Chains A and B, each alone.
Chain A
């Protein structure tokens, strides 16, 4: 049996029956990484010894039968912006190349308590800035469906790892599509939860009012299991939401009669690839067959989502990244001579890549005297209108169905020299973050051999609804079962 290909649910059943051990399962995942990661390059750090030690502890727990959770003994990887005690955490940036946190992010701590086994840290666009994983300071990650193509970004390593069976799930982070877009490009399931539903403590910040930690997995059921383990109020994050976390698995119901779905006209406008549109429209028809009622809705400020999102993100990121100054941690240069200003100037010049520099510069510009009203403040006003679009739509429907991206995965190198074209690839995913909603990305077909993803967008704290719709879809389709041909 190819243990590394199991879903969480299937592996859990075998683990509790004693038919496999977590050490065997973890070993299988580590062997798979050794086999296919030289081609995919999803991992920045693999922690083999620690993983096998954690797996042995999970086996002891499973044997005693005490404190077993659905994630006990399940091997997973985490995006390298999530702090992991004693395991290097780089944000795929030269400035943090040797940084080792001494504490766990809350989400990592919760998975540790649940008995999950961390196998490694995954590559990303530097500090989450990018849509292709090509902005990593270390190396490009490749799409397992076609190694000449990007996995999407910024959680590209996390999506590619699940697609290539290097971990049963990943923990990613979505600031403006960074879970959903790579999930779509790599044919896996990914959730951007509502802002505040999952703690940000220990997440190295990109844009503090957008950042949302979420899972990538083989199916909706597994994504719901992981969300259940990481969601909920955290005394270390004052923006975490106090509302009780509902039972996501108990809420799954495959009968969609009476569920109202909206299809936004603006998301099927010019620029969408015919193969993508055909797959998403077929998925909408399928949901109708399952009993859902479909109607057209309008999100009229969709055209402004990109400037709203990028202006606010750049402003917040320019402030957040001021902490990287070469004094207390991270890269520092020159170490001999020069005054403190010189240290700042050289450290930041050498430590940040071009995209990070562009965004810090534009964020500083948008916040500066004479430009603040026209850019940052105006973006926050139009953001209010964007949120109202969603509020009005959710007065009529339970969820909104849209493509994840207008295209399938593009080629490595295709957009890297044109930053604006790279931003525009986010056109269907960015609105969810400034809009304050949650969104699930599920595989819904192929276009010329490459995966196509569908978004199921829900109202604030509507995770149960979108899990239910996604699970009903996957119960009667097989797109999420297809795996790329890699290795043995």
Chain B
């Protein structure tokens, strides 16, 4: 696909980020996001003007925050409450797609080795 030269975030980067964030992108989206994100990052680059020598990153101002709660045993979320929002269930469980698959024969070492 045609690509404008000199974009700060090119189409290859958009595809890479799309995979990192687990989001499928169409070719049209890759083209659109590459241009839009590049324009936004170009604007953000004005931060480079600021001298940040010896300036520490922001920390929340010192203010007394809530103390940790007492660690008291109490009933946890009821199973039916939890499952009420599950997209798919199997009895009392959340059903999920295949997470691990055998992609190559497992090499089992001989018992007398090592």
Residues in A lying within 8 Å of B, measured CB to CB: 98-100, 102, 195-196, 209, 233-243, 301, 303-304, 306-308, 310-311, 318, 322, 325-332, 335, 338-346, 348-349, 352, 357-358, 360-362, 364-365, 368, 374-375, 377-385, 387, 419-420, 423, 434, 436, 460-461
Contact = CB atoms under 8 A, between A and B. Distances in A.
5 contacts: A243-B64, A344-B23, A381-B55, A385-B50, A385-B55
Nearest to B96: A327
B94 A327 contact: yes
Contacts of A382: 47, 50, 52, 55
A357 B23 contact: yes
A356 B58 CA distance: 25
Contacts of A352: 23
- In order of increasing CB-CB distance, the 4 nearest A-B pairs are A332-B87, A329-B85, A380-B57, A344-B22
Nearest to A435: B58
A377 B46 CA distance: 14
Given A196-B65, A239-B66, A338-B97, A361 B18 contact: yes
B77 interface: yes
Contact of A235 (B13, B21, B66): B66
A342 B24 CA distance: 9
B90 interface: no
Contacts of A238: 65-66, 68
B87 A335 contact: yes
B67 A242 contact: yes
Given A102-B84, A328-B85, A332-B88, A301 B50 contact: yes
A294 to B, nearest CB: 27
A460 B18 CA distance: 39
B22 A364 contact: no
B7 interface: no
A364 B25 CA distance: 15
A374 B48 contact: yes
Nearest to A243: B64
B87 to A, nearest CB: 3
Nearest to B87: A332
A361 B33 contact: yes
A182 B101 CA distance: 50
Contact of A387 (B41, B58, B85): B58
Nearest to A306: B43
B2 interface: no
A325 B99 CA distance: 13
A378 B57 CA distance: 8
Contacts of B102: none
Nearest to A308: B47
B81 interface: yes
A241 B61 CA distance: 11
Contacts of B1: none
A335 B87 CA distance: 8
Contact of A340 (B18, B59, B82, B99): B99
Contacts of B50: 301, 304, 378, 381-382, 385
B57 A384 contact: yes
B106 interface: no
Contacts of A100: 84-85
A381 B56 contact: yes
Interface string B27-63: 0010001001101110110111010100111111101
B90 to A, nearest CB: 12
B55 to A, nearest CB: 5
A327 to B, nearest CB: 6
Contacts of B63: 196, 241-243, 460-461
B87 A348 contact: no
B43 A99 contact: no
Given A100-B84, A361-B18, A384-B56, A310 B44 contact: yes
Given A311-B44, A325-B22, A460-B63, A335 B58 contact: no
Nearest to A374: B48
Nearest to A352: B23
Contact of A102 (B46, B47, B61, B77): B77
Given A361-B18, A420-B43, 17 more contacts: A102-B78, A102-B81, A102-B84, A196-B63, A238-B66, A242-B65, A311-B44, A327-B87, A329-B87, A338-B97, A343-B96, A346-B24, A357-B33, A358-B40, A361-B17, A384-B57, A423-B40
Nearest to B81: A102
A242 B22 contact: no
B85 A330 contact: yes
Contacts of A461: 63
Contacts of A311: 44, 47
B69 interface: yes
A419 B41 CA distance: 12
Contacts of A326: 87
Contacts of B43: 306-307, 420
A473 to B, nearest CB: 28
A209 B50 CA distance: 23
Interface centre among A242, A308, A330, A381 (most CB of B within 10 A): A381
B17 A339 contact: no
A340 B96 contact: yes
A81 B46 CA distance: 32
B73 interface: no
B97 A339 contact: yes
B23 A384 contact: no
Nearest to A335: B88
